[in-house]
Amino acid sequence: MISTVRDVFSGAAILLRGAGMVLRRPKLFFLGAIPPLFTSLLFVAVLVALVANIDDLAAWITPFADGWAEGWRTTVRVAAGAVLVAGTVLLMVVGFTGLTLALGSPLYDLIAEAVEEELGDAPPESEEPLVSSMARSIRQSLVIVAITALVSLPLFAAGFIPVVGQTVIPVLSALFGGWMLGMELVGAAFDRRGLIRLGDRRRAMAGHKALSLGFAVPCYLLLAIPFVAVVVFPAATAGGTILTRRLLPASRPGTPPQPGGRGPAGPPAGPHGGPPQSPFPGPPQGPYGDPPQGPPGGPSAPYGGGPYGPR
């Protein structure tokens, strides 16, 4: 229990450490703030346009109510408009991180590289072409957004359940949202280590749940505040790289680390699980590791020795 609490606070400290590293490089900080600012302005423009045209949109999606009495027609269309706005806001919250990371991928790679270089033992540059890397990142972000949306919809509906919806559901939503956000934030650092699948990230984080959630949940809560994300996002990106270095052990050059806290494989063990054997052949040995003995009555062992010593 104590170690779990310690890991949670250690994860939260990673975000603060990432903020300190980015703030010491104002150029990187401002570059990292551009994508979330652009995404925020884009979402605000979409939301304003949606609200300005909500009456027409509500009428368009409820043509069946055209012949109803005015009171019922208005009630149905107000409800439809509210659901449309709520659903749009939910999709914006879910897709904000993925879209921002996709748009700012080259900039966030610079932040990740700066963190790696400052901490030392930076992995080699990825050999994957930039276009291919961005396409894969967008595809993986869409998968994460789709999973998040599928789970967020029932959680959103469960929020209307008395008591449970105001206590348990917000906690579950923050834990789930933070977990999915964490998978996004560690992506660049995992890619640099040759671990390009979402399953690699999931297994590594699952081996350190408290540490991962201690970092990701505060990020999730802060990024949910409008325009605060502009300041938090560069720090969260740097923190994702620091978290990756905690999740994955150091590896030999050219050897990708194993997700889940396992390092690269060591030398092969000897027979029956014994110590590893040397790759260089030594002198021949007897059946129990003794020097080879000649046949009975035959030539003696070196220096005139017999089976039990000198004659």
Confidence of residue 158 (pLDDT cuts 50, 70, 90): confident
Q: Is residue 76 part of a domain?
A: no
Residue 243: its pLDDT value, please? Answer: 96
Task: Write out the residue range of the structural domain in which residue 189 sits.
Answer: 2-35+96-247
Q: Is residue 308 part of a domain?
A: no
Q: 98 with 145: CB under 8 angstroms?
A: yes
Q: Is residue 310 part of a domain?
A: no
Q: Is residue 142 part of a domain?
A: yes
SS3 270: coil
- What's the rounded Cα separation, in Å, for the pair 74 and 59? 9
Confidence of residue 293 (pLDDT cuts 50, 70, 90): low
Q: What mean pLDDT comes out for the span 42-61?
A: 91
Q: Is residue 221 part of a domain?
A: yes
- What's the rounded Cα separation, in Å, for the pair 160 and 224? 20
Q: Is the pLDDT of residue 270 over 70?
A: no
Q: Is residue 296 part of a domain?
A: no
Q: What mean pLDDT comes out for the span 287-309?
A: 47
Q: Is the pLDDT of residue 232 over 80?
A: yes
Residue 309: its pLDDT value, please? Answer: 45
Residue 311: its pLDDT value, please? Answer: 42
Residue 260: its pLDDT value, please? Answer: 54
Q: Is residue 234 part of a domain?
A: yes
Q: Is residue 50 part of a domain?
A: no
Instruction: Give the chain's domain count.
Output: 1
* Mean pLDDT rounded to a whole number for the chain: 80
Confidence of residue 259 (pLDDT cuts 50, 70, 90): low
What's the Cα-to-Cα distance from 269 to each of 64, 72, 244, 249, 278, rounded to whole Å?
73, 77, 30, 21, 10
Nearest to 43 by CA among 239, 182, 223, 238: 223
